[in-house]
Amino acid sequence: MRALVVDDEPLARERMRALLAEIGDVDVVGEAGNGRDALDAVAQLGPDVLLLDIRMPVMDGIEAARHLGELESPPALIFCTAYGDHALAAFDANAVDYLLKPVRSDRLRAALAKARRWSGEEARGVERALGADRARTHLCARVRGSLVLVPVAEVAYLLAEDKYVVVHHARGEVLIEEPLKALEEEFDDRFVRIHRNCLVARAKLTGLTRTPDGRLYANVEGVTASLEVSRRNLPALRKLIRTL
């Protein structure tokens, strides 16, 4: 079994490596110090199992698990945490094993045995269970079988097109298969609706422009595209702009 050890504490990663060496039959193919780096490592190294800390900088283990559920063949997940009240019931209900720190060798053996029976559908169950009550720090797109992560803070606007949403961000654009309405609800403090098919980042909204024919367009920092404002959304948008 190929394992990736993910923890922001170097000593914790070292201890986990030592425990895995004692157990044997596990090849540690790499380490990562946060969930964002873990996702990159999964793409590069193709581990069978992640030993995943929960509280980490940049991206925590819960969000990393949600993004891993987007893969066609996600690795098994074993959460490691020092906090016994951290949504462990949800993990257990969705076939995610978890270890309380300091990790005991016998519990690690049992978790690895469970990981060998892991399936991709179980991972997607984790994604569904963990996605209901917290906003992500990144949006995730699948591009040619790999995950492309876009920091939400870099997104200028979201535009619905057919069954996709186009994420326009500082470095380009990607397509995601998520309803615009769901994104609006998850990120209601970051984005404002200007049209039935468009959400704009509040932090990048700079004003409105009226054309000679009476149409109104949102001015968005770094965006040259014309983003029309609907009459229905205009009152709330004007109120927001007055606070900028």
First to last CA, the chain: 53
The answer for residues whose C-beta is within 8 angstroms of residue 3's C-beta and 6 or more apart is 20, 26, 27, 28, 29, 47, 48, 49, 50, 51
Low-confidence ranges of the chain (pLDDT < 70): 84-96, 119-134
A 10 A CB-CB count for 189 gives 8
Q: Give the whole-angstrom CA distance, residue 42 versus residue 50.
A: 9
Report whether 19 contacts 112 (CB < 8 A).
no
Instruction: Quote the pLDDT of residue 94.
Output: 47
Instruction: Please write down the HEC assignment for all residues of the chain.
Output: CEEEEECCCHHHHHHHHHHHHHHCCCEEEEEECCHHHHHHHHHHHCCCEEEEECCCCCCCHHHHHHHHCCCCCCCEEEEEECCCCCCHHHHHHCCCEEEECCCCHHHHHHHHHHHCCCCHHHHHHHHHHHCCCCCCCEEEEEECCEEEEEEHHHEEEEEEECCEEEEEECCEEEEECCCHHHHHHHCCCCEEEEECCEEEEHHHEEEEEECCCCCEEEEECCCCCCEECCCCCHHHHHHHHCCC
Query: Which tokens is 133 given?
Result: 């009550």
C-beta separation of 170 from 156 below 8 A: yes
pLDDT of residue 143: 83
pLDDT for the residue numbered 129: 56
**How much is the pLDDT for 127?**
54
pLDDT for the residue 91:
57
